Structure 1
Amino acid sequence: MRTIDWVDGAVELIDQTALPARLTVLRIGTVEELVAAIQRLAVRGAPALGVAGALGVALAARHPDDVAATVRRLETARPTAVNLARGVRRAAARLPEGADAVLAEALAVRDEEIAASAAMAARGADLLAELCGARPRLLTHCNTGALAAVVGGTALGAVLELHRRDALGAVLASETRPLLQGARLTAWELGRAGVPYRVAVDGAGPFLMARGEVDGVVLGADRICANGDVINKIGTYAHALGARRAGIPFVVVAPESTVDPDTAGGEEVEIEDRGAEEVLPSSARPDGVDAVNPAFDVTPHELVTAIVTERRVIRLDRAERV
């Protein structure tokens, strides 16, 4: 089942906020509905957001009133991940050719992400086996499986490929804010695939590495800067520090579409803050208390062992350049 797709003139997507309790498919017919779904994380994950952005332009092209403003709202629905804006811009470039051309481009974005997932799974599994040894115990962060892509996935795709090869030890899935995406979504996908796993509280990752319970860290990215800095879900930086201290590989698996040569380093990236309500609901918030709730952080390239895309392996630990 595809996370997101174009079906009979509308966008259909799995509502990730309903998982794991129920599998619900939303049918979305307007850009306004799609923007709302993106902002409340009904659809998320860098590749899936790129597809959502492109399909959103296909929706806009069928309702040509004030298309430019509509496309701009879609492009800026979430500011940190580069894929959303890139998918929007790519499909929007076909607007002068008409709605059919826009849809064709959006479907091309979808199909390219599907192909990229398969290539990343194989390349990522090969590298993890090389770096982490036989039957590695891997720690993942956020959700990087099919839910974050269209099918397959990025980092979790590589983990699942190791499982298919009977070459995986076990998985620790960190809880991952916002909305506990690891505990809800990654755990759901691992369970469906029959992969042995445990869920770890986010703060436990570096300690578990230090205690020798992890052979490698593998996760995705929402943006990879020109210098190799990695923008990913909050908590990634802490795992990278833990991996460096424990002397284990820290591997990023992400599609080429997340590589952003126009952003020199992580200090240039706008980091989305999700607000206090997700952390301290107003019904339970002490008077005068606020919260800091960044959705992402920046992991310096010096802490990254390698970046795997569908086209290449970049060994940052050997000073290879993005």
Structure 2
Amino acid sequence: MFEKCLPPIYWDGDAVAILDQRVLPHQEKILLCTKPQQVVTAIKNMSIRGAPAVGVAGAMALALGAYHIQAADTRTFKRKFVRLCEQVKNARPTGNNLSWAVEKVYSVIQGNPDAEVPELQELIRRKADEILAQDVQDNLAIGKWGKEIIPRGAKILTYCNAGALATADYGTAVGVIRAAYAEDPTIEVYACETRPFLQGARLTAYELQCARIPVTLITDNSVGSLMQANGVDVVVVGADRIAANGDTANKIGTYTVAVLAHTHNVPFYVAAPRSTIDPTIPDGSAIPIEQRDPREVTHFFGRPIAPKEVKALNPAFDVTPNKYIHGIITEVGILRKPFKQSIRKALQES
């Protein structure tokens, strides 16, 4: 067992270093990306995943790409950089943090119309570094706010992975668990395996063991039975995109957990930075849902587990309606119903 979890993404000199989450928990393998296209590939193939982490990766890909752009003048540089922004932005469609980060980095171009190419390159790198550092601070703040909703001695259920590996470090939903455990070591955690990519089994259990937080792994279809037996006091999950009304897209299966929690009167919370909120989308019906390779369902680590040529659906996300959500834990506080008003107010805070 590894003594300390490595950060999911960081600078190694002029290269972007990414912890390959496809081979965890049994191997810690670092991908050194010297070109922006390598970072984009890592996002697409889920070497790095989790909405905040993907946003950070997108910003760092743009910083890396800015230094590789061959341009004799500023106009050519800007044209090529816009093209790069589109490539990065389209790497994965559902999470909001990626497009948010791309827009933040592109604002450097818009805000410095008279800057020469070397200055723009440096400013873009600074913006990417700022997004990386700010994500860690936001996660710490989410943990501080979120620990208040965890009862003493609570049995907490979490779904998918919303820990350090899904962010720049520390985590959102797992950040809440970390902060709560620091003050109350009697809490226990149930982590769902999260089919078909097994982020809960491979990543959440790995992170919590590294942090010495008691964790029990369960199959996804055990949630209802566990709640029926009064085995869960609170649910905390992450998010990939939150609509203006609070409807939340997260890993496929989250909606099922939310309905079960509602049925058994278990509070259900979402933990996410404000960069996950998309105020341009009125409700969850407008959130794009990524459809992934059916082989992730029909195969297990490359080995077939289903009849040959059988059809399979593999949506990567589902949407939990706001009526099932007790609160959204952000870096500026816990947003409560009515979510339209609390979200609007939170986005206006500096």
Which TM-score bucket, shorter chain as reference?
A: over 0.9
Asked if the contact 2:159–2:200 (Cα under 8 Å) also holds between the matched residues in 1, the reply is yes
Contact kept in structure 2, 1:210 and 1:245, CA below 8 Å: no
Pick the structure with greater CA Rg. 2
Pick which of 308-317 and 26-35 moved more. Answer: 308-317
Deviations 1:165-190 (A, max 9, x none): 12542111001134100000000011
Moved more, 179-188 or 205-214: 205-214
1:145/1:283 CA distance change after superposition, 3 Å: closer
> What code does the residue aligned with 1:100 have?
E
Pairing of 1:284-299 with structure 2 (within 5 A): 284=304, 285-299=306-320
Matches within 5 A, 1:262-277: 262-277=280-295
Q: TM-score, normalised by structure 2?
A: 0.87
Indicate if the aligned counterparts of 1:177 and 1:295 stay in contact, CA closer than 8 A. Answer: no
Q: 1:232 to 1:168 in 2, by over 3 A?
A: farther
Instruction: Select 2:142's aligned residue among 112, 120, 139.
Output: 120
Structure-1 residue corresponding to 2:201:
183
Structure 1 residue 234: Cα displacement: 0.5
Structure 1 segment 63-102 matched on structure 2, within 5 A: 63-65=68-70, 66-95=80-109, 97=115, 98-102=120-124
Task: Work out the CA distance in 2 between the residues paired with 1:227 and 1:142.
Answer: 23
Matched, 1:12 2:17: yes
1:213 corresponds to which of 212, 231, 249: 231
1:287 Cα shift? 4.3
On the 8 A contact 1:4/1:14 being kept in 2, the answer is: yes
Distance 1:83 1:318, change over 3 A: closer
1:118 and 1:276 mapped to 2: Cα distance? 36
CA contact (8 A) 1:4 1:52 kept: yes
Q: What is the Cα deviation at residue 18 of structure 1?
A: 1.5
Quick check: 2:153–2:187 contact (8 Å CA) kept in 1? yes
Residues 218 and 252 of structure 1 are in contact (CA less than 8 Å); yes or no, is this contact kept in structure 2?
A: yes
Q: What is the DSSP-based 3-state SS (H/G/I as helix, E as strand, rest coil) of the residue aligned with 1:172?
A: strand
The runs of at least 4 aligned residues of structure 1 exceeding 4 Å deviation read 317-320
Q: Deviations over 1:92-127 (max 9, x none)?
A: 232464110100111111111011011111110112
1:317 deviates by: 7.5
Identity %: 38
CA contact (8 A) 1:58 1:102 kept: yes
SS at match of 1:171: strand
Q: Distance in 1 between matches of 2:93 and 2:329?
A: 24
**Cα shift at 1:23:** 1.2
Matched, 1:2 2:16: no
Deviations 1:137-178 (A, max 9, x none): 010001111111111110101101111112542111001134
Does residue 249 (structure 1) correspond to residue 267 (structure 2)? The answer is yes
Per the alignment, residue 348 of structure 2 pairs with none
Aligned-residue offset at 1:77 = 0.4
The answer for the alignment partner of 1:226 in structure 2 is: 244
Q: 2:337 corresponds to which letter in structure 1? A: L
Aligned residue pairs total 318
Matched, 1:110 2:128: no
Aligned equivalents of 1:239, 1:249: Cα separation in 2: 11
Tell me, yes or no, if the aligned pair for 2:36 and 2:64 is still in contact at 8 Å.
Answer: yes
Superposition RMSD in Å: 1.7
**Matched-pair contact (CA < 8 Å) for 1:207–1:242:** no
Q: How does 1:12-161 map to 2 (within 5 A)?
A: 12-65=17-70, 66-95=80-109, 97=115, 98-128=120-150, 133-161=151-179
Structure 1 residue 283: Cα displacement: 6.4
